A and B are shown apart, each in its own frame.
Chain A
Amino acid sequence: MRIFFSKASLLVAFTLAFLSSSLLHAQNNFITGYVTDSISGEKLINANIYINEYTKGTASNNNGYYTIRTKQENTTIHCSYIGYSTKVLKIDVQKDTLINIALVPNLEVEEVTIEAKSSRFKNFTIKDIPIKQIKQAPAMMGEIDIQKSVQQLPSVTSTWAGFAGMIVRGGNADQNLILIDDIPIYNSSHFYGLFSVINENALQSARFINGSIPARFGSRLSSVLDITLKDGNRRRAEGEAAIGIMSGNIMLNGPLKNNKTTYSFSGRRSMYDLAATSYNLLAKKPLEGSFFGDATAKITHTFSNRDKVTISLLYSIDKYYNNSKKDYSIGNTTGELSQKQGYNWGNYILSTKWNRVHNPMISFSNTLFFSNFNHKRQNKEEFNSGSLDYNSNVEFSSTINDIGVRTDWQYFPHASHKFYFGINHTLHRFAPGSSLFYDNKDQAQEPIKRNLGSEKYNLHENISYLEYDVTISPIVSINIGVRNTLILSKEYTKLIPEPRFTSSITISEKSNLIIYYTHTSQYFHLLRTSILEQPTDMWVPATKNFPEEKANQAGAEWTYVHSSAYEVSIASYYKSMYNLISYKEGASVLPNENGWEEKMGKGKGHSYGAELLIQKKAGKLTGWIAYTLAWSKRQFNSINKGKEFYSPFDKRHEISITSNYQLSSNWNFGANWTFNTGMPYSMPAYSIKTFNTNEAIFIYTTKNNLRLPAYHRLDIGAHYTKKHRKHKKWENVWSFSVYNAYAKKNVYYRGMWGYFPAEASLFICLPSISYKLRF
């Protein structure tokens, strides 16, 4: 296999070199520019730009910049973007021409029927996430969550019902690359996994890739969620302040000096803990509660049409605390026992990026970034009396610090030929599962002091990638690329080539077929038990015993665009995964003396399925219907006696219906319905008495031998928007939602809890209300 990939990489490189050599003499004129929002002046990412005469168009990049090349002197270009009126421009192109396109938001939500053009088809299986629509979707406890909106797409399912974690095409929760302004984030959820850390107010755009992942993305096996934060309004300062039952948040953005610099800030803090803490203090009860908060900030300075610098920050924190004091006796000694138990976890990302459009053919961005993910648990006890004092302290912590630099280039020598290439170096510094024990309870003995697994691992990730995107004919275009990663660590050095291939075949003006093959790798593992999903689950680097995870995926996606409003796509895939890791039978999350490797087993998996997506993108009623038919299996030598078993996330059927209805300029209604086959879980088949102790033990015969009952849920919501009486530019927005409206008691956990079978259901009908002031 290794030889195959080495040869494949050489072949890809050779093909790229051969094809590119024939392009350098092409004589065309460029049309370049930025696509922006006409009101705020903010960039629009992934807007479609195409020329009537050509079958293939282009899309604006993460800076809203586009380049398209034409041989025609009189050219008509079309620019479209979800939620905006399509703009059609007739241009006389005698030479390279700069055309900035300002799109007008489609406030009246009229259903405009535009004849479908094959040039609107994308070259990859990319789904643009409609930010405006997800902000109007019903949200659990009023917390609008991009990850939960992505879960409504086919191929994506939640880790646990109601949680923000994503499982894509039978993968694992750690196989999704979540990029915030191009920087990966490790922990993307708040409040034990229930809400995303990505504040909806900070979102500019998002796109989701699940199949044909281009070579510019990597380091995860299954999917990419590429999120861009708001630059800020270039015309005027604006903001929002909101309060709901779960949290309060504020967002401010606007221009600074000369409209060349913009800022954007959003912050959020949980609210319910304030009330709980106050009550506990007044009632003199132990202080127990959870807290979460996050902040994002971005400053963008535009030096010229060519140069732009941005500084982005994301910070998130979660805490659980339980502090108590009570009178306590040890033997005849009475004193005060104080106990402190706590978990905290969080991320921060800081990055600075310089974007430059060097000339119409070449643009690049250079990025320097820092990232941190950390979590810590602590159990501390102190007993104080006049004659006897003891204390014990158990700490468990794990951190990842990343520092990296990357440069990404785009070179468009011809309308039909595009190159993407770049290099990236990241130093990952892992400190997985270091633990500290201190105990002097036994006064007669020396205090117990232990420090387990405090070793730190450095892992250097060196990446280079090259993508060649060529339109071979009016019907066929190809994206071929390779991503090479050189992993360097104290005990593990490896060069990992990842060939990628995607071909887009235009069947008719209204339909398109994408076929692809991707080979992906990731160099980190998330240690997560099958019993609990915890935000404090450890990330660990690839090692000799547990090398990089690998996946091969092949698939096809057929898209039919009936009009600008209706679109249907059908996809199928087969994915095989290797070097997956999982806790061995009997292993627990508690730290052991010999480190995490002893507890883990290595195995493989495969998944396959078909997906249907019917979308209505325009009109008063918008939304989509998604259906997924999927299988996902695993095989580990150390689990289930080496026999294959269903992945915990194997859900045979999954249906989601997402809808939004704009009744008037004041009222907007939304409803989501979700159904899926129950998840597999393990339950003992029998109990027996053992021959040696004659005590009853529970016998598991096969892993994941049963399935939970089918899950279904309806969420409904309404938004009422009204202009402020005094300040005409201000708006009051009241949002009402009911999560699980028909109170289905969905089981989210079933299994043995100690010596007893147990089950739990979460969120049985949860109404919420929130208020937002836009100014």
Chain B
Amino acid sequence: MKQYLLIILLATIATLVSCEKILDYTTTQIDYNGVPHKSMLVVSARYYCDLGLKIHVDRSLSIAENPNLPPLAQVKVTLTKKGGATLFSNLVTLGSTSGKAFISKDSLIELPTEGETLILSVECNGFDPVEGETTIPQTVPINNFSVTGNESKSNTFQFTLNFDDPANSTNYYFISSVEHTFAYPTWNNDTTHNIQRITIPLTDPIFSFMPDFRTSIHEPFNNSIYKPRIFPDTPISGKSYSLKIDIPEKTDYQQTLYDTIETEYTIELFSISKELFEAYKSIYLAEIVAGDIYSEPITQYSNMSNGIGFFGSVSPRASKTIRLEKNRVLEVFNGYTDFHY
């Protein structure tokens, strides 16, 4: 019996000691089977027909590297028409902290038009050159723009923006809003003028193409400020559509200090290329689930050969502006004003 007890004791001790190591968990020193990381150019570029080329260039980092490396200083940017002329080719200095640059449309030899395909090449010392292409989308005008109070939500304006989705093509859209507030104070003639780009609450069902993913660290996706203000024409293809936008009344000005408060909202509708739509969708989705251990990994969209990122294009904007005083519509007009009064 004594020998049994000895065996049991030894086995139990060995078991308990080994149980300390049942789970070995580590977050460092991972051998990735020798998979090397070759740093690539990361390009985010959008060609706005109204403005020109906005470009952000960075480098990819291995996931173990310190991400606080300085931005790249200078890159060579070449923009050509597919099968046609070179529109721009020059060294471009990137913002020292942002890594961004802007090439005005006025710098281009000629302006590309709807339906034309642009090729963007970016070169930088120490990296493989990268290239991507985009086809400029068709402009879609706003037919009608109106405003009412939302019956179900007090202190809320409901804007209705009507447009015709072109038939026989797949279209993608981006929508944005600029708010101008003009306040006329009681004690002198100065006017307070505040301009801000505001986040549109995405209540219209057209935006529900994005799934309502709930994550452990962010709010439900439907309510997220991360949700992109883009939508495809899938449910409205070739039809006229009235998109509804709910915007709360301006309440952060103290009425007692001002005689009059007028607010101007400019709603802009852009057609965007498929590449831009896919890229926005992918980036926004990655941002909202970043760090969430319960979420499935997201493979990132890229149309840049030899690199990561995207090159997309945006049609000339179609915009309507509405000027309101409290809930009274003062004026609705095309485009927008940079200056009022």
A contact set with B: CB distance below 8 Å: 245, 529-532, 583-594, 598-599, 639-641, 682-703, 706-707, 709, 734, 736, 745, 750-769
Residue in chain A with minimal CB distance to B25: A760
Interface of chain B, main secondary structure: loop
When distances are taken between beta carbons in the complex, the residues of chain B under 8 Å from A641 are: 299, 301
- Top 7 A-B pairs, shortest CB-CB distance: A686-B60, A691-B44, A769-B11, A691-B56, A588-B294, A585-B298, A588-B295
- Asked whether A691 and B100 contact (CB < 8 A) given A736-B11, A753-B293, the answer is yes
CB-based contact B212/A585 at 8 Å = no
In the complex the two chains form, what is the Cα distance from A584 to B209 in whole Å? 14
Task: Find residues 17-51 in chain B having any chain A CB closer than 8 Å to their own CB.
Answer: 18-19, 21-27, 30-33, 35, 37, 40, 42, 44
A to B CB contacts below 8 Å, 25 in the list? A584-B211, A585-B297, A586-B213, A588-B213, A590-B215, A593-B212, A594-B211, A598-B211, A640-B299, A685-B37, A685-B60, A697-B287, A700-B297, A700-B298, A700-B300, A706-B32, A734-B4, A757-B30, A758-B25, A758-B26, A758-B27, A764-B18, A767-B14, A767-B18, A768-B11
**Residue count of chain B within 8 Å CB distance of chain A:** 66
Question: Beta-carbon contacts of B187-226 to A below 8 Å, as 1s and 0s?
Answer: 0000000000000000000000001111110001010000
Q: Does B122 contact A (CB under 8 A)?
A: no
CB-based contact A587/B296 at 8 Å = yes
CB-based contact A689/B296 at 8 Å = no
In the complex the two chains form, what is the Cα distance from A695 to B27 in whole Å? 21
- Chain A's nearest CB lies how many Å from the CB of B316? 22
In the complex the two chains form, what is the Cα distance from A531 to B12 in whole Å? 34
- Chain A's nearest CB lies how many Å from the CB of B309? 8
- Chain B's nearest CB lies how many Å from the CB of A242? 14
- Chain A's nearest CB lies how many Å from the CB of B145? 27
When distances are taken between beta carbons in the complex, the residues of chain A under 8 Å from B7 are: 734, 769
CB-based contact A530/B22 at 8 Å = no
Residue in chain B with minimal CB distance to A704: B297
In the complex the two chains form, what is the Cα distance from A531 to B298 in whole Å? 13
- Chain A's nearest CB lies how many Å from the CB of B339? 28
When distances are taken between beta carbons in the complex, the residues of chain B under 8 Å from A700 are: 297-300
In the complex the two chains form, what is the Cα distance from A767 to B8 in whole Å? 12
CB-based contact A767/B15 at 8 Å = yes
Q: Does B53 contact A (CB under 8 A)?
A: no
Q: Find B60's partner among A682, A688, A709, A750 (CB 8 Å cutoff).
A: A688
Q: Does B286 contact A (CB under 8 A)?
A: yes
When distances are taken between beta carbons in the complex, the residues of chain B under 8 Å from A692 are: 283
CB-based contact A586/B298 at 8 Å = yes
Q: Does B292 contact A (CB under 8 A)?
A: yes
When distances are taken between beta carbons in the complex, the residues of chain A under 8 Å from B22 are: 762-764, 766
In the complex the two chains form, what is the Cα distance from A306 to B224 in whole Å? 68
- Asked whether A529 and B67 contact (CB < 8 A) given A686-B37, A686-B60, A767-B18, the answer is no
Q: Find A761's partner among B24, B60, B283, B299 (CB 8 Å cutoff).
A: B24
- Chain B's nearest CB lies how many Å from the CB of A647? 15
- Chain B's nearest CB lies how many Å from the CB of A737? 10
Q: Does B289 contact A (CB under 8 A)?
A: yes
Q: Find B287's partner among A532, A690, A709 (CB 8 Å cutoff).
A: A690
CB-based contact A706/B33 at 8 Å = yes
In the complex the two chains form, what is the Cα distance from A569 to B220 in whole Å? 54
When distances are taken between beta carbons in the complex, the residues of chain A under 8 Å from B19 are: 766
Residue in chain A with minimal CB distance to B310: A691
Residue in chain B with minimal CB distance to A749: B25
CB-based contact B296/A745 at 8 Å = no
When distances are taken between beta carbons in the complex, the residues of chain B under 8 Å from A594 are: 211-212
Residue in chain A with minimal CB distance to B71: A689
In the complex the two chains form, what is the Cα distance from A763 to B19 in whole Å? 8
Q: Does B314 contact A (CB under 8 A)?
A: no
When distances are taken between beta carbons in the complex, the residues of chain A under 8 Å from B222 are: 593
CB-based contact B30/A759 at 8 Å = yes
- Chain B's nearest CB lies how many Å from the CB of A396? 12
Task: Find residues 289-338 in chain B having any chain A CB closer than 8 Å to their own CB.
Answer: 289-302, 308-309
- Chain A's nearest CB lies how many Å from the CB of B52? 16
When distances are taken between beta carbons in the complex, the residues of chain B under 8 Å from A694 are: 98
When distances are taken between beta carbons in the complex, the residues of chain A under 8 Å from B186 are: none
When distances are taken between beta carbons in the complex, the residues of chain B under 8 Å from A750 are: 30
Q: Does B63 contact A (CB under 8 A)?
A: yes
- Asked whether A702 and B42 contact (CB < 8 A) given A592-B220, A760-B23, the answer is no
When distances are taken between beta carbons in the complex, the residues of chain A under 8 Å from B295 are: 586-588
In the complex the two chains form, what is the Cα distance from A524 to B289 in whole Å? 28
Residue in chain B with minimal CB distance to A690: B283
Q: Find B216's partner among A530, A584, A588 (CB 8 Å cutoff).
A: A588
CB-based contact A693/B287 at 8 Å = yes
CB-based contact A585/B299 at 8 Å = yes
Question: Beta-carbon contacts of B119-136 to A below 8 Å, as 1s and 0s?
Answer: 000000000000000000
CB-based contact B62/A686 at 8 Å = yes
Q: Does B267 contact A (CB under 8 A)?
A: no
- Chain A's nearest CB lies how many Å from the CB of B303? 11
CB-based contact A592/B212 at 8 Å = yes
CB-based contact B297/A703 at 8 Å = yes
- Asked whether A686 and B40 contact (CB < 8 A) given A586-B298, A755-B290, A758-B26, the answer is yes
CB-based contact B285/A586 at 8 Å = yes
Q: Find B211's partner among A245, A599, A703, A751 (CB 8 Å cutoff).
A: A599
Q: Does B246 contact A (CB under 8 A)?
A: no
In the complex the two chains form, what is the Cα distance from A593 to B222 in whole Å? 10
In the complex the two chains form, what is the Cα distance from A706 to B37 in whole Å? 13
Residue in chain A with minimal CB distance to B283: A690
In the complex the two chains form, what is the Cα distance from A753 to B216 in whole Å? 13
Q: Does B140 contact A (CB under 8 A)?
A: no
- Asked whether A709 and B33 contact (CB < 8 A) given A585-B296, A599-B211, A697-B286, the answer is yes
In the complex the two chains form, what is the Cα distance from A591 to B216 in whole Å? 10
Q: Find A683's partner among B21, B32, B293 (CB 8 Å cutoff).
A: B32
Q: Does B85 contact A (CB under 8 A)?
A: no
CB-based contact A756/B27 at 8 Å = yes
Residue in chain A with minimal CB distance to B4: A734
